[in-house]
Amino acid sequence: MLGTIINATAIAGAGMIGLLLRKGVPENMSRTMQDGLGLLILIIGIQYGFKAENLAVIGISLALGAALGEWRQWEHRLELLGIRVEKRFGNGESQFVKGFVSSTLLFCVGAMAVVGALEDGLTGNYSILLVKSMLDGILSLLFAASMGVGVVFSALPVFVYQGAISLGAGFLKPLLTDQMLNNITAVGGVLIAGLGLNILGVTRIKVANLLPAMIFIPLVMLLL
pLDDT value of position 22 = 83
pLDDT value of position 101 = 94
DSSP for 144-159? HHHH-GGGGGGHHHHH
Model's pTM, two decimal places? 0.89
Listed as ranges, residues in the chain with pLDDT below 70 are: 90-93
Contacts of 27 (CB under 8 A, 6+ apart): none
Q: For the segment 109-129, what is each residue's pLDDT rounded down to a tens digit?
A: 877 898 899 999 988 999 999
> Taken in order 169, 215, 191, 84, is the CA torsion positive or negative?
negative
pLDDT value of position 210 = 94
25 vs 19: CA distance, rounded Å: 10
Cα separations in angstroms, 49 against 9, 36, 42, 59, 108 = 28, 20, 10, 12, 16
pLDDT value of position 55 = 94
Helix, strand, or coil (residue 6): helix
pLDDT value of position 86 = 86
For residue 22, how many C-alpha atoms fall within 13 Å in the half-sphere facing its CB? 24
